[in-house]
Structure 1
Amino acid sequence: MTRTNFGNLTGRDLEGFHTGGDTEAWRRLGSHVVEVQDPTRGALRGTRFAVWAPNARRVQVMGDFNWWQGDDMELVPGSGVWALWKEDVLEGTRYKYKIQHADGTWQEKVDPYAFHSQRPPENASVVWTSHHEWAPSEDEWLARRAAADPYHSQMSIYELHLGSWRKGLGYTQLVEELPEYVRWMGYTHVELMPVMAHPLAASWGYQVTGYYAADSRYGDPDELRVLIEALHAAGIGVILDWVPGHFPRDDWALGRFDGTALYEHADPRQGVHPDWGTYVFNYGRNEVKSFLVSNALYWVSEFHIDALRVDAVASMLYLDYSRKEGEWVPNKYGGRENLEAIDLLRYVNKHLYERQPGVMMIAEESTSFPGVTKPVHEGGLGFGFKWNMGWMNDSLEYIELDPIYRQYHHNEMTFAMVYAYSENYILPISHDEVVHGKGSMVNKVPQDDWRKFSTLRTFYSFMWAFPGKQLLFMGQEFGERAEWNEEAGLEWWVDGMQWHKGLRDMMREINLVQAATPALYERDCEPDGFSWINANDWMANTFSWLRYGADHEREIVACMANFSPEPYEQYAIRVPRPGVWREILNTSDTRWDGDGGYENGVLTTFVGEDGTDQLMVRVPPLSGLWLAYDPVASAHQDR
């Protein structure tokens, strides 16, 4: 076979892929419309197909262009990659690979590197070339991102599932509604649940069959690019969930790709996930390394994604994850850590931070594995942030209690400060907390609607003033009562009703006040950005603490959260600066359907019996308060 028939692909082009060092493998593998030079006919256009199947006896490509009968591919010399160039096969062509196993049986497979695919339940790969031209504003966005400091910036994240945020909308329709809503609500980022091709809608994208293909249920890849561009134009960063921990067993996808365990481990003790019944990647195989690191870079570079949130990191880190004694294989040192997965995560994180200035890597990691957000060169995994699953579990258990019992669980709301600075944390109330019988956020809270919504407003004010960045799943900002159901979509008709509208409007206010108050975000990751005023008032179900900005003397906010239905007309709190303090948030405000009547307005300190500067605060029932120090008014008062 001549080089022309390989579509300009050579064995040398694939050396990096086979050594695990190709971080842009999508440029070589998969289907690409390329031009080749023919000695007699000149330049010819067609599609080059290339697929890694080293243990196959024979490989064919079949599709629209050959009536699905199959054309034989050939091995690229010095490689386990089969390739074929087909003249006049262009964008939009549907295709699959037909692979003959060593035992002579045949299996049809979709392309692991396909950029586009049919809409489920159909699953053929589609030849695709992007024709999207990024607007000049994207260069400005990427430049600002590169110069940004996420650790000292506000980060308020709105997590959503594209298919059910507003049911029936595709990428193009979402352009008209999603950026405007997220900007109006004051969020800084959206986090999209996986948009990679997947056959089962109920998996929400977490069981991926097309790692390089955008979900065709909502449109084509360029329409997704337009949506991302519109979000950036609205000032909204885009976080995308990425799933390198496992993949489904669908017989037409990655599993047993060439008749052998190619992408996964052959030993089920290593290659099968017991919880989900899925395959686990063989992280030690070089070609799998190239596949995964390239996939992470692909979404960041080709779609301008600003951050990847890596799903189920804990399942990757431990060989005995969800496995009983005797059901797992120790590492070479006899330990339970998955050394190959750890190396891969470090490789991916280090490479993306070096290649894409300003990108963030976020770990959904539920254990106490050390150094998740520590740099790779210091022995860490190299993530930028980690979800604080411990804080989430403890705080939700607390608000689910009747107020009379909360005093006995007071420490569940304070314990997170014991380890708050061991990692760079995001505080998540994600989709996982409002499905599968867990109930919506508002229905986690016991008793009547007054208590439900007052408690939820208090909890959100506690969350937004606590050290760490914030993430909230769609629908919880207006108190959706039903559990999230991807088939039904959100209950938007309630967001103008009593309680619901008040909660949503307060969430907008919280985001806007936080953005205008650096003390509430600037030192989220630094211990001297926080101190307790009173962490031990368990009898009153009340917490009070201070947040500090970069200017430790002038940027100070005193925060309170009363999780009791009892008001406190005179509640004294110690503050570090004498002078004037102004109420900047009161969750019992009548604008949010609160009771009102407990406004503090402008307060002036007094000297307590112990000689400390104090404020006498009116604390409403089931409410949160933020009081900001006013250095200008205090200076005038001193005169």
Structure 2
Amino acid sequence: MALRDDPSLPEPSGPARCGTAPPLDPADRGRLLSGAHHDPHALLGAHPVPDGIVFRALRPFARSVSVVVDGERRELASEGDGLFAGVLPLDAIPAYTLLVAYAEEEQEVHDPYRFLPALGETDLHLIREGRHEQLWTALGAEPMTHQGVTGTRFTVWAPNAQGVRVAGEFTFWDGKAFPMRSLGSSGVWELFLPGIGEGTRYKFEITSRYGGRFLKADPMARRTEVPPDTASIVTSSWYEWGDREWMAARGDVPVHEAPFSVYEVHLPSWRPGLTYRQLADVLPSYVKELGFTHVELMPVAQHPFSGSWGYQVTGFYAPMARLGTPDDFRYLIDALHRAGIGVIMDWVPAHFPKDDWALARFDGDPLYEPGDDRRAEHPDWGTYEFDYGRTEVRNFLVANAVYWCEEFHIDGLRVDAVASMLYLDYSRDSGQWAPNAFGGREDLAAMAFLQEMNATVYRRAPGVVTIAEESTAWGGVTRPTDTGGLGFGLKWNMGWMHDSLGYISHEPVHRKYHHNEMTFSMMYAYSENYVLPISHDEVVHGKQALVSKMPGDWWQQRANHRAYLGFMWAHPGKQLLFMGQEFAQGAEWSEAHGPDWWLLDPAYSAEPDHRGVRDLVRDLNTVYRRTPALWQRDTDPGGFRWVIGDAAEDNVFAFLRYDAEGNPLLAISNFSPVVRHDYRLGVPDDVPAWYEALNTDAARYGGSDLTFPDPVKPEDGALRLTLPPLATVWLVPQPG
């Protein structure tokens, strides 16, 4: 904050003393010094008095403070406890600076208490109404020029606090010198600190209404320290985006009518040790080579435990610091966009951890969490739930969703744990919850929040998709909000995931008793707009990696794995696959070391076991993207027809997919380890010949190579095929 080198400041002359200042009211003085005063600007700074202008500064640990006016220096008298004051015989408040002398140095600084509020009435009105859709521009730490002086505006919402002060490395984490002022009924506290710029570490020192004093990280911090350090960091973005083409075109086709194939990534462990910028050199090319349309990033918002998956967020507006700065994260997203890959991020508005330096009881009282203990505690995760009924909390979350889309060009938000938000009795026993106003178990405030979030994001960020991880039969998750739905674009199909994994994990001899687990999904496939997820949740905590769920020897496990992926890519709905499963990693995922990339090394095995599965995923995506029948009518029942859905004894499934022009694709899955000869499949009469578009049994994938190199022609309205074992085959009409 030193301004000694500022050429706009006049060189001060020798010291002279000011007149004696009238003493502060003892009550005001006590509240100011204890950090419990709502309006320190009324006591500090320059103010008219009968004898002229009184100057008062609070500078703990200073040996002297002088006021400098027109190059003339006048020393203020010490009033004790770091207060210095004096009167100059002036008619009006002049332009002035303070010269603050410490034990070994002197600093000439602008006085923070001579500035008007740096937050406007429009911002405050929108905050009070809970309608500030760019809340991050009003709250937090904002570097700016205010009244001709550069510095940083600090603002924080803490309506229950007696007082709030700014503490940082520039105060040795002691907040005494910089109390903030309350901006009335908004609950917002504000202080402009001249000379404070980017890179400065800070926190808010809050005095609760009970007299307790504690340091809190900024809820709106856009950059944080690397854990275990917890301070917030002043930041601005200087990044110049290069993805204009991508952003302009991403909303051209509705997502449910477009190819959408997602590679789920945990950034810290995908290639352990790489930063955002280093990941930008390798992740886009890898994903593009495999043909995925999107990546989904497990939570990137700042979380306190670096070894975790990221679902306990403390910095909702800050990308995790361990991989780089916010602009470094922008660089990664930009690189993915320039490679033609969309970016979805996991967003966690369902709960937050209880760390005492973060959101929990932020101003000494429940603030972001409900005051009712029955609703505040999340019973499964030892965390707090958000108070969705409070306008400012809802605004905090809605603006956060918009923030990631607007500031970081995120293309989609996958909303975590939606079911835990929607039900008041989620994981709660009788007596641990209270019904809503209508006597039901639905959380009406959470519903309203999700509707507002979705409507706001879709209005402000064209082309963005929101995706619900919702595990119940709640109706209308992907129905528009104006018809009573929650307004999501897509929903994870947890039923399909559970049933199909259950089926595929059985020995083939037993699968006939579970045949309906593979067909039941078509009973509700068009009730919502679905994503078929094989996510990180399915390959941890003893659930085994996807290939290890499969029965049989190693060859059969890989064949099952390949056949299952072929079935999944052909089934109505978009698809998501977690990293490592694209090359049949046998071990469960560990966030400590990530995928077992060494399995792809030819030195490990000359056989195409793992590399063959990866090649299959690449080809699945390639054929998928060029075949509209597989994605264009995902939400249209007319785009699907069973050919064989009841062959339980054979473990065979066959169905047709149609694009908007009526062009078909025939998908056949044989989940039996035996070859089925002369298998009859009824097909449309208007297709004279079919050719193989993909066969998971091909030798290059590690299969037995029972393929269809020549066109297959129907006889009497049916195809007679030899079905390869544990394989999925895609057939399409012969070109021309």
- TM-score, normalised to structure 2, is 0.83
Counterpart in the other structure of 2:714? 605
Separation (CA, whole Å) in 2 of partners of 1:264 and 1:481: 41
User: AA paired with 1:205?
Assistant: G
Q: Quick check: 1:556 aligned with 2:661?
A: no
Amino acid across the alignment from 2:704? D
2:576 maps to 1:504:
no
Partner of 1:349: 454
Q: Whole-Å Cα distance in 2 between the matches of residues 151 and 592 of structure 1? A: 30
In the alignment, which residue of structure 2 is the partner of 1:314? 419
Tell me, what secondary structure is at the counterpart of 2:186? coil
Are residues 473 and 6 of structure 1, via their aligned partners in 2, closer, same or farther at CA, if it must alter by over 3 Å?
Answer: farther
The Cα shift of 1:13 comes to 2.1
2:46 maps to which residue?
none
Secondary structure of 1:199 counterpart: coil
Are 2:308 and 2:591, in contact at CA under 8 Å, matched by a contact in 1?
Answer: no
Distance 2:720 2:687 in 1: 13
In the alignment, which residue of structure 2 is the partner of 1:400? Answer: 505
| Cα separation, 1, equivalents of 2:202 and 2:167 | 6
| 8 Å CA contact retained: 1:191, 1:238 | yes
**Could you tell me which of 617, 627, 638 is aligned with 2:721?**
617
Q: Which runs of 5+ in 1 are unaligned?
A: 38-42, 608-612, 633-639
Q: How many angstroms apart in 1 are the aligned matches of 2:386 and 2:408?
A: 24
- The 1-side partners of 2:303 and 2:332 are apart by 20
SS of equivalent to 1:98? strand
Deviation by residue 1:520-569 (Cα, 9 ceiling, x = unmatched): 111111101101001010111110100101111xx111110111001012
1:25 and 2:135 correspond: yes
Which letter maps to 2:722?
R
Partner AA of 1:565 in structure 2: P
Does 1:82 pair with 2:189?
yes
Corresponding letter in the other structure for 1:505? D
C-alpha displacement of 1:12: 4.1
* Paired positions, count: 618
Match of 2:705 among 590, 596, 602: 596
CA pair 6-326 structure 1, distance change in 2 beyond 3 A: farther
Cα offset for 1:147? Answer: 1.6
Query: Does the Cα contact within 8 Å between 2:467 and 2:490 map onto a contact in 1?
Result: yes
Answer whether contact 2:312 2:351 (CA < 8 A) is retained.
yes
How do 1:259-298 residues align onto structure 2 when only pairs under 5 Å count? 259-298=364-403
Give 1:7 deviation, angstroms.
5.1
Match of 1:566 in 2: 674
How many angstroms apart in 2 are the aligned matches of 1:578 and 1:46? 72
- Inter-partner Cα distance in structure 2 for 1:4 and 1:281: 38
1:430-445 aligned within 5 A: 430-445=535-550
Identify the residue that residue 408 of structure 2 maps to in structure 1.
Answer: 303
Residue from 222, 239, 259 that aligns with 1:115 = 222
Please name the residue that 1:230 is paired with.
Answer: 335
Look up the match of 1:36.
146
Aligned to 1:544: 654
Pairwise mapping of residues 386-425 of structure 1 onto structure 2 (< 5 A)?
386-425=491-530
> Is the 2:127–2:186 contact (alpha carbons within 8 Å) kept by the matching residues of 1?
no
The equivalent of 1:582 in structure 2 is 691
Report the CA distance between 1:64 and its aligned residue: 1.6
- CA contact under 8 A between 2:239 and 2:327: conserved in structure 1? yes
Distance 2:373 2:704 in 1: 59
Q: Using the alignment, how far apart are the partners of 2:172 and 2:515 within structure 1?
A: 68
Alignment partner of 1:122: what SS? coil
Secondary structure of the corresponding residue to residue 606 of structure 1: coil
Residue of 253, 260, 280 corresponding to 1:175? 280
Q: Which has the higher contact order (CA 8 A, sep 6+)?
A: 1
- 2:672 is aligned with what amino acid? S
The letter of the residue matching 1:284 is G
Give the aligned partner of residue 635 of structure 1. Answer: none
Cα distance between partner residues in 1 of 2:733 and 2:687: 9
Partner SS for 1:459: helix
How far 1:598 moved relative to its partner?
3.8
1:102 equivalent in structure 2: 209
Please tell me whether the aligned partners of residues 490 and 529 of structure 2 are also in contact (alpha carbons under 8 angstroms).
yes
CA gap of 1:34–1:625, structure 2 versus 1, over 3 A, is same
Give 1:266 deviation, angstroms: 1.3
CA distance in 1, matches of 2:405, 2:528: 24
Deviations 1:225-267 (A, max 9, x none): 0000000000000001101110000010000000000000011
Query: Any idea what the Cα deviations from partners look like across 1:81-122, whole Å, max 9, x if unmatched?
Result: 111111110000000111111121111100000000000110
Measure how far apart 1:601 and its partner are: 2.8
Distance of 1:433 and 1:202 partners within structure 2: 19
1:251 maps to what in 2? 356
Q: 1:465 aligns with which of 546, 552, 570?
A: 570
- Post-superposition offset of 1:57: 1.2
C-alpha separation between the residues in 2 aligned to 1:114 and 1:596? 56
Q: SS at the partner of 2:643?
A: strand
Could you say which residue in structure 2 is the equivalent of 1:636? none
Say which SS state the counterpart of residue 375 (structure 2) adopts.
helix
Deviations 1:340-369 (A, max 9, x none): 000000001011111111110110000000
Shift of 1:146: 2.5
Q: Tell me, which stretches of 5 or more residues in structure 2 are unaligned?
A: 1-40, 43-112
Secondary structure of 1:603's counterpart equals: coil
Q: 1:218 aligns with which of 300, 319, 323?
A: 323
Q: Greater Rg, structure 1 or structure 2?
A: 2
Say what the alpha-carbon RMSD is for the aligned residues. Answer: 1.2
Partner of 2:103: none
1:324-403 alignment runs, 5 A limit: 324-403=429-508
